[in-house]
Amino acid sequence: MIAVRPWSFPASAMPVVATLGYLFAMDREISWANGVWALLNIVVFHAAGNTWSDYFDYKRRVDAEDTFGAKTLTSGMFTPGEIRSLSLALLAVALAAGVGLWLRTEMPLLYIGIGGMLCALLYPYFKYRALGDVVIFASYAFLPTLGTAYVATLALDWEILYLALPVGLITVAILHCNNTRDMQTDHRAHIRTLAMKLGGKRSVRLYAFEVLFPFVWLTGCVLAGVFPVWALLAWVTVVPAWQNVRRAAAFFREGSSAIAGLDEATARLQLLFSLVLTVSFVVAGLVG
């Protein structure tokens, strides 16, 4: 449980939950069995991706004793071989479950599943080349929402991507604040991240955009009739979002230590935002 970092699971689980809530609000015919199956499977995929990334970060010397974040390998708690074996075992379970879900549906899920698996396996490669943010958005926003909508309704619903954007931006912010915190140690390891390319000042501004723009987008979708008016309930989470932005700004005064736990705080924000949004969808579906 320590190795897979369960505190990060809302990043993958909540897009699925919010998608099911949205489908309920839109009065779609839903296969709840398929929806729950997709939810459990993406969490296992996420656990596999976490350990896979940790293994390569350790091998590339991105993670060391003086770096923040996961200490499962740098502290000697586990050996690299143990983490690699755990990751491959989790990936095998997720792959088997994915094939089972594919057999319950049709071909489009195969393509979505292959995309998700490639994102998990190739994430370290893209992360070291400043493309990690793109992969995270694809694997924890675009693919989960589209895939969940498909397995639950057996139809490709492209309108679900209106939901992928706000949930996905906050998810990407988890990675971005992590990379902003680790700029110096990442530079030492000779890798490149988007935060390194932008620098500290612009990285903090990008983080602020990623956690605040979802509220603007949400309001626009309500005004356009894409989301029910109840979705505006999610605005109650703007308070912790603003607190996170203020915490990110402390990076200028105090350095990396000021945002040491901002990734976990952002994960909690993503959980809260998505939960409230899901509840608003359920209320909208119940009241008609």
**pTM of the complete model:** 0.90
Q: Quote the percentage of the chain above a pLDDT of 70.
A: 97
How many structural domains does the chain have?
1
pLDDT tens, 183-202? 887 888 788 899 999 998 89
Q: Is 1 within a domain? A: no
CA angle 20-24-26, nearest 5°?
Answer: 115
pLDDT at 71 over 80: no
- Return the minimum-mean-pLDDT range out of 63-77, 223-237, 264-278: 63-77
Q: Is 173 within a domain? A: yes
Q: Is 69 within a domain? A: yes
Domain hosting 176: range is 6-287
Pairwise CA distance, residues 248 & 262, whole Å: 7
42 contacts 14 by C-beta, under 8 angstroms:
no
Q: What is the CA radius of gyration of the chain?
A: 19
Q: Is 159 within a domain? A: yes
Q: Is 266 within a domain? A: yes
Q: Is 48 within a domain? A: yes
Mean pLDDT of the chain: 90
| β-strand partners of 192 | 129
171 contacts 163 by C-beta, under 8 angstroms:
no
Report the CATH number at residue 251: 1.10.600
